């Protein structure tokens, strides 16, 4: 990585402003249900503490749309971080303002301050609408570290704009470096055979990465809701299945490209269909070519497809997976997603999984530890594959020799 690293940054006696990704899932009681992203930030935080710096953490949580809301407070993250580090964490009442500025000014080496949700201010996602926001954030620290790979594809105040205030002092944290290292070594220049498994609901959010993967992968296995747009583009009946009519032409183009590119797009041979998204739905398994009747919708890949995908993946050297292959949250429709999760866990290939739903499936199956690398950023990993860099990375200072 050609960007300045945290390990190259003089931080003794400095206030280190660190962008982390604490956008964690919460239940109705505001309890964290998965602290993976907080745990992923610990090496960077601990290094700063051990090196004599003071830590000022900033993150977003959810989509509060520029307004303060208890529902989206980072207070549960402060509590959990304190437990994980066995170290007190000071919680700021806001991410900017006089009181927060005073807390930062008084912070001593070895102390941790967590700022309140950045997205309580419009200036985070729309720096042009609140021009002073970025400057106020920057004024809190002496040096800047971005360790939030999951938001590095956003040119927001705290991920890109802020680096202008830290010339030569804006570095990559250890998690960001780790993510880029795995993506570069495994996906940008993959060991072959390289197979990509792409699922999830929409083709619209993954067109760019599909176009990129058609030139990089040896095969792209398609499942999930996005498969039905491809199937409709082939003239097959898809019943009431989720799809995007406005992207049918694009799906046809991608299928045509797959005939001439390195990678072949492989669609499900059979489907699990249901008359409703419920555990007690009427369920059938049909060959894809038969078409889905109008009162049914596709909910999972079928057993023949599971077997076909499994066979293809047997000789893999590299596998990238993003997006579930069915409505895995509902038990009768989860077999495809869990079957492929087991294939990856048992594979000798380098396995990289990006995206919250895919990782959630691995964790619920107890297989997460058997994957080579779990990316903390699904969208960011897709955009990195597509573009080879991200705005949050580009904005960092260049490495010192």
Higher pLDDT, 359 or 321: 321
For residues 59 and 146, the answer to whether their CB atoms sit within 8 Å is no
Residue 252 pLDDT more than 80? yes
* Annotated catalytic residue, options 53, 225, 323, 356: 356
Q: Which of 325, 324, 327 is nearest to 355 (CA)?
A: 324
Matching residue, tokens 């594809």:
153
Question: What is the 3-class SS of the chain, one letter each residue?
Answer: CCECEHHHCCCCCCEEEEECCCCCCECCCCCECCCHHHHHHHHHHHHHHHCCCEEEEECCCCCCCCCCCHHHCCHHHHHHHHHHHCCCCEECCCCCCHHHHHHHHHCCCCCEEECCCHHHCHHHHCHHHCCHHHHHHHCCCCEEEECCHHHCCCCCCCCCHHHHHCCCCEEECHHHHHHHHHHHHHHHCCCCCEEEEECCCCCCCCHHHHHHHHHHCCEEEECCCCHHHHHHHCCCCECCCCCCHHHHHHHHHHHHHHHHCCCEEECCCEEEEECCCCCCCCEEEEEHHHCECCCCEEEEECHHHHHHHHHHHCCCCEEEEECCCCCCCCHHHCHHHHHHHHHHHHCCCEEEEECHHHHHHHHHCCCHHHCCEEECCHHHHHHHHHHCCCHHHHCCCECCC
* Annotated catalytic residue, options 39, 75, 202, 370: 202
* Bridge partners, residue 378, by sequence: none
Higher pLDDT, 26 or 95: 95
For residues 212 and 388, the answer to whether their CB atoms sit within 8 Å is no
How far is residue 354 from each of residues 27, 93, 189, 321, 375, measured CA to CA in Å?
A: 22, 33, 17, 6, 5
Binding site for ATP: which residues? 206, 298, 329, 355-358
Binding site for substrate: which residues? 21-23, 37, 60-63, 119, 154
* Burial of residue 33 (number of CB atoms within 10 Å: 0-12, 13-18, 19+): exposed
pLDDT of residue 104: 98
Residue 186 pLDDT more than 80? no
* Annotated catalytic residue, options 14, 37, 169, 335: 37
Where do the domains of the chain lie, and which CATH numbers do they carry? 6-176 (3.40.50.1260), 190-386 (3.40.50.1260)
pLDDT of residue 379: 84
pLDDT of residue 117: 98
pLDDT (average), residues 186-200: 89
Tokens of 262: 């390195």
pLDDT (average), residues 191-206: 91
Residue 185 pLDDT more than 80? no
Instruction: Please give the Cα distance from 358 to 378 (Å, whole number).
Output: 9
pLDDT (average), residues 91-119: 98
For residues 281 and 300, the answer to whether their CB atoms sit within 8 Å is no
234 C-beta neighbours (distance < 10 Å), count? 14
3-state secondary structure of 88: coil
The per-residue pLDDT for range 213-246, each reduced to its tens digit, is: 998 899 999 999 999 999 999 999 999 999 999 9
Residue 356 falls in the annotated catalytic set: yes
pLDDT of residue 159: 97
Binding site: which residues? 21-23, 37, 60-63, 119, 154, 206, 298, 329, 355-358
DSSP line for 187-244: IISPPSSEEEEE-SS-STTSHHHHHHHHHH-SEEEE-STTHHHHHHHTT--BTT----
User: What predicted TM-score, i.e. pTM, was given to this entire model?
Assistant: 0.87
Q: H or E segment at 392? A: helix 391-394
Q: H or E segment at 354? A: strand 350-354
Q: Which of 199, 197, 191, 195 is nearest to 217 (CA)?
A: 195
Residue 379 falls in the annotated catalytic set: yes
Instruction: Please give the Cα distance from 109 to 53 (Å, whole number).
Output: 5
Residue 200 falls in the annotated catalytic set: no
Matching residue, tokens 């990559």:
172
pLDDT (average), residues 122-131: 94
CA 97-102-106 angle, 5° bins:
150
pLDDT (average), residues 38-65: 96
Evaluate the CA torsion angle 238, 240, 242, 248 in order and state its sign. Answer: positive
Tokens of 21: 């990704």
Binding site for (2R)-3-phosphoglycerate: which residues? 37, 119, 154
pLDDT of residue 25: 87
* Annotated catalytic residue, options 199, 224, 379, 392: 379
Instruction: Please give the Cα distance from 91 to 255 (Å, whole number).
Output: 51
Please provide the average confidence, as pLDDT, over all residues in the chain. 93
pLDDT of residue 358: 86
Residue 110 falls in the annotated catalytic set: no
Supply φ then ψ for residue 286, to 5 degrees.
-130, 155
Of 44-58, 274-288, 306-320, 355-369, the poorest mean pLDDT is in 355-369
For residues 1 and 400, the answer to whether their CB atoms sit within 8 Å is no
pLDDT (average), residues 78-93: 97
């Amino acid at each position: 990585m050609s960007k300045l690293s945290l390990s190259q940054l003089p931080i003794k006696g400095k206030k280190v402003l660190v962008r982390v990704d604490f956008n964690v899932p919460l239940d109705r009681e505001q309890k964290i249900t998965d602290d993976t992203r907080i745990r992923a930030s610990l090496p960077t935080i601990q290094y700063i503490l051990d090196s004599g710096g003071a830590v000022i953490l900033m993150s977003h949580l959810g989509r509060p749309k520029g307004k303060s809301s208890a529902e989206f407070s980072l207070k549960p993250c402060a509590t959990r971080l304190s437990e994980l580090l066995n170290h007190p964490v000071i919680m700021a009442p806001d991410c900017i303002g006089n009181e927060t500025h005073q807390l930062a000014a008084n912070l001593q080496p070895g102390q941790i301050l967590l700022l309140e949700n950045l997205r309580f201010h419009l200036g985070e996602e729309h720096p042009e609408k609140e021009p002073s926001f970025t400057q106020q954030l920057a004024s809190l620290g002496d040096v800047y570290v971005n360790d939030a790979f999951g938001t590095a594809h956003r040119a927001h105040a705290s991920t890109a704009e802020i680096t202008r205030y830290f010339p030569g002092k804006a570095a990559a944290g250890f998690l960001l470096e780790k993510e880029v290292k795995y993506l570069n070594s495994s996906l940008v220049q993959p060991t072959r055979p390289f197979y990509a498994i792409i699922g999830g609901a929409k083709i619209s959010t993954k067109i760019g990465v599909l176009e990129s993967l058609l030139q990089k992968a040896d095969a792209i296995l398609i499942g999930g809701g996005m498969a039905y747009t491809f199937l409709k583009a082939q003239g097959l009946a898809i019943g009431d299945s989720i799809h995007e009519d406005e992207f049918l032409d694009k799906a046809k183009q991608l299928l045509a490209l797959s005939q001439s590119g390195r990678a072949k797009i492989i669609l499900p041979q059979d489907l699990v269909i249901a008359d409703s998204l419920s555990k007690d739905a009427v369920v059938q398994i049909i060959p894809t070519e038969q078409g889905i009747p109008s009162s049914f919708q596709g909910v999972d890949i079928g057993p023949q497809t599971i077997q076909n995908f499994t066979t293809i993946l047997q000789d893999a050297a590299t596998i990238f997976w993003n997006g579930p292959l069915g409505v895995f949250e509902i038990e009768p429709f989860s077999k495809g997603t869990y079957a492929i999760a087991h294939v990856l866990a048992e594979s000798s290939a380098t396995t990289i999984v990006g995206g919250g739903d895919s990782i959630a499936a691995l964790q619920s199956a107890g297989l997460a530890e058997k994957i080579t690398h779990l990316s903390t950023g699904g969208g960011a990993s897709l955009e990195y594959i597509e573009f080879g860099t991200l705005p949050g990375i580009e904005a960092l200072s260049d490495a010192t020799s």
